Structure 1
């Protein structure tokens, strides 16, 4: 089933323990691949993950009591890709390969996982929705918060 393949990010969400972390890790090489098209392609593909992830989440949770099962990790992919947007755009602006900004990749991963697990403020508000939008939006907001953190850390690193 295509929806399960998408929702679990190539079945990485079936790995235990911590399927969200596995899903986020699986999203990184996919992000690198998407980033090879440049920042506009990466941004467009990131935006495409919103309706694709919503659809896949609706499909795999249809009739289930749990609206946010652990194996659904397409939301983690969306969140970490949002967190990586400043890295992809920064690499393009600097005229370097995106992997050269590896500290940004680590910061995006760590900050995204932190905000996704901690669920501060608006992340928690979105998470409390009992539908597929809540599944997708809490990670999108965590990704935005992580992206801001990535920019702040990059600014700090370049100022030193």
Structure 2
């Protein structure tokens, strides 16, 4: 069961770039959760997968310090859902019902992959911890930065329309 969760039901076993496959699966599932359960449902799912990710990574990597196996993508799922949470919250607060408008999910996906691969600032510091918690924490930071970047991109894109 631990391996099944760690690979997020096998997505982490896909090649090449298992982190990208895990993120893609996560954004599509998160988008559907947001559509059918709204922001509260996505928030609950994000909390659950984050908690599960810490438990799974702690158990799976207990005897492997410093290891971050590429097939472990539950951390990407948690980070990707955090990236989706911010635009989901913004639309939910405005009474939006329905699919999170395009291109918000694409922007969240692209920004998350950028921060997850680039590992700037706090993302890199968490990654350098070399422990099971660091496996999760770097993606949580990447997700937060991706969510903020998605919101900023949306504001910049729509700003000319707001003032005209």
Q: TM-score, normalised by structure 2?
A: 0.89
1:89 to partner: Cα distance: 2.0
Structure 1 runs of 4+ aligned residues shifted over 4 Å read none
Summarize the Cα distance change of 1:52–1:89 in structure 2 as closer, same or farther, 3 Å threshold.
Answer: same
Once residues 138 and 66 of structure 1 are traced to their aligned partners in structure 2, the CA distance between those partners, rounded to angstroms, is: 14
Cα RMSD (Å) of the superposition? 1.5
Could you report, residue by residue, the CA deviation over 1:106-151 in whole angstroms, capped at 9, with x for unpaired residues? 1100000000000001100000112111000000001110111011
* Structure 2: tracts of 5 or more residues without a match: none
SS of match in other structure, 1:63: coil
The answer for the alignment partner of 2:20 in structure 1 is: 21
Matched with 1:120 is 120
3-state DSSP of counterpart to 1:16: coil
Q: Show the counterpart of 2:99.
A: 98
* Contact residue 116 and residue 142 of structure 1 kept, 8 A: yes
Pairing 1:3-82 to 2, within 5 Å after superposition: 3-35=2-34, 36-64=36-64, 67-82=67-82
The CA distance in 2 between the partners of 1:12 and 1:20, in whole Å, is 9
The alpha carbon displacement at 1:48 in A equals 1.9
Q: Which residue of structure 2 aligns with residue 134 of structure 1?
A: 134
Tell me how far apart the structure 2 counterparts of residues 87 and 151 of structure 1 sit (CA, whole Å).
Answer: 6
Number of matched residues? 158
List runs of 5+ in structure 1 lacking aligned partners. none
User: Counterparts of 2:139 and 2:16 in 1: how far apart (Å)?
Assistant: 19
CA contact (8 A) 1:91 1:98 kept: no
Q: How does the TM-score come out when normalised to structure 1?
A: 0.91
1:84 corresponds to: 84
Measured after TM superposition, the shift of residue 64 of structure 1 is 3.3
